[in-house]
Amino acid sequence: MKNYILVAVTGFMLMGLASCFHHRNDISITISDDADEFEMDALYHKRKTHAVRVYLNDHLLHNKTGRYKKNVDGEEMILDDNTKLYLNEYPGSLRIKIDKEENPAGSYEKIKQACEEMKEIMLDN
């Protein structure tokens, strides 16, 4: 009887351990584009963090004027072309938001295109 209990406990422990690693490969990318704002929320493989950061620095933040402040929505950044966006970025997590009414249409299109390209980076195996 004790052997059955030991086998059952060991089995439950192994199932619990396996469930810890189950969500490790899940990717969640949500893009919302309504009349007022554009937003991308992404959870992705942490191993893609470097590639996402390189893309951000090369394509969006390379012309950051240095004007930024932290707030509830993330880090508010104003780029050289006066694009104002909110950015939260951590390993395996990215959130970008732009208010369409506060920015010219070209800024919205630039951010939207960048998010689509970063989405491809995140999904690339």
Q: Which amino acid is at 42?
A: A
Does some domain include residue 7? no
Does some domain include residue 6? no
- Report the alpha-carbon distance of residue 67 to residue 58 in Å, rounded: 18
H helices, E strands: number in the chain: 3, 6
Does some domain include residue 3? no
Tell me how many domains the chain contains: 1
- Along the 125 residues of the chain, how does pLDDT read in single tens digits? 666 676 666 655 656 555 455 445 689 999 999 999 999 999 999 999 999 999 988 888 765 555 555 555 568 888 878 888 899 999 999 999 999 999 988 999 999 999 999 999 999 86
Which CATH number characterizes residue 94's domain? 3.30.160
Does some domain include residue 44? yes
Domain that holds residue 32: 25-123
> pTM of the full predicted structure?
0.72
